[in-house]
Homo-oligomer: A and B are copies of this chain.
Amino acid sequence: MRRPTLEAVAARAGVSRATASRVVNGSEAVHAQIRDAVLRAVDELGYVPNSAARSLVTRRTDSIGLVVSEPPAAEDPLFSVLVRAVSRELEHAGKQVVLMLASSPAAYARIERYVAGGHVDGVILVSTHGADPLPAALARTQLPVVSYGRPVATVSLPYCDSDNVGGARAAARHLLDRGRRRVAAIAGPPDMPAGRDRLAGYRDVLSAADRRSLVAMGDFTRESGAAAMRQLLLDGPDLDAVFAATDLMAIGALHTLRRMGRRVPGDVAVVGFDDIEEARYTDPPLTSVRTPVAAVAKAIVERLLGQARFAEPTVLPADLIVRESS
C-alpha cells in the first residue's frame, strides 16, 4: 500500500526512470507520444513525487520560513493580514510557508537549527524586539533572509517596511493643522524600530513647530494604550490631541478618554497608526495612518525570490486616513 514511485510510472509507460523524470519535471526534450504515455501512467497510478527524495538531490525544498517573534498581543490584527499576504505571494511562486513562532529562547535555538538544517530555501523575518537574537543568527546563515520592518541597527539585513517616520509626521502635522496646540503621543516600546520611527516622526514635526512633546510609553496593546492615556492626562491635563503609535493603543486611549469624560474629538483629537479594520468601528471612527501590509509582504517575497541580498530597502508610503476622531 505504498505510494507509487517514479520507477513504477516508468515501468507502466514502458520508458526509463530518467525519461519519466523528465516528463514529470516538464522538460521539453521528450517526444510528445512518450510524454503522453508517461502522463497517462502518472494519472492512472496517482503518482505524486516524493519531495524528500527530490530535495535530497536538488538541495531545494521549495518552502520558505516565516519566522515571527512573539508579539505582546495574542490577537494581532495585522498578523492575519501579513500571513495571508505572504502566503498568497509565495503560493504564486510555488513555495510553501513554514511558520515558526519565536516564542522563547528554546524556540530561537530550534529555529536557527531548523533554518541552518536546510529545511527552507529562505526566510522572512518578522522581528519586533530589539533584543531579538534571531536576525543576527539568521544573517549568519548562508540563506537569503528578508526582514519585514527595519531590523535593529546592529544587524544589516535587507528589508521592506512602510514609511513609519513619514506616516507619523503626517499624523502629527494633521493634528497641528487642525489647530491642536498640545499634542501628546503614546509611543511603542523603544527597542522596536517601528515604535522608535513613529515617535521620531512625531517629534520631528512638533519640534519644527516649536511645540513641546509629551510622551507616554505603551507596548502596542489596547490595555497599554489605556494606561498610557491615563498617564498623559495626569502629566498634561491640558492636552487636546493624542497620536498613538498603533491603532490598538489609540483604541485603549479612546477607552480611557471616554471613562474620564473627555469628548473625542471635541476635547481631545485622537490619531492611530496601522488603519486596522477596527478603526472604522470605534466611536468615533478613528483617524489613522494606513500601513500597507499586503504591499510590503509582496515586496518582501519579490526580493526574497529575486535573491537580491544586499539591495536597498523598500519603504512604502503610509497614508493618513482621516475619520471623525480628529
A residues with a Cβ closer than 8 A to B are: 1, 3, 46, 48-53, 55-56, 61, 63, 66, 70, 73-81, 83-84, 87-88, 91, 96-101, 103, 107, 110, 113-114, 116-119, 142, 222, 251-252, 254-255, 258, 276-278, 280-281, 283
Contact = CB atoms under 8 A, between A and B. Distances in A.
Contacts of A61: 52
B91 A80 contact: no
A96 B96 contact: no
Nearest to A117: B48
Contacts of A80: 74-77, 79-80
13 contacts: A51-B52, A51-B118, A52-B52, A52-B61, A70-B84, A74-B84, A76-B80, A77-B77, A83-B99, A87-B100, A96-B98, A97-B98, A255-B281
Nearest to A221: B277
Contacts of A98: 63, 96-99
A48 B109 CA distance: 12
B74 A75 contact: no
**Top 7 A-B residue pairs of the complex, sorted by shortest distance between their CB atoms:** A48-B117, A52-B56, A52-B55, A79-B80, A75-B77, A97-B99, A99-B99
Contacts of A118: 3, 48, 50-52
B91 A119 contact: no
A78 B75 contact: yes
Quickly give the copy total for this chain: 2
A81 B91 contact: no
A208 to B, nearest CB: 33
A74 B83 contact: no
A255 B96 CA distance: 39
A222 B97 CA distance: 29
Contacts of A84: 70, 74, 101, 103
B74 A81 contact: yes
Contacts of A254: 281
A52 B55 CA distance: 6
Contacts of A142: 1
B73 A277 contact: yes
B87 A91 contact: no
Nearest to A278: B278
A73 B55 CA distance: 36
Contacts of A51: 52, 117-119
Contacts of A255: 281
Q: Residue among A103, A252, A281 with the most chain B CB within 10 A?
A: A281
Given A83-B83, A91-B107, A281-B255, A96 B75 contact: no
B276 A252 contact: no
Contacts of A277: 73-75, 222
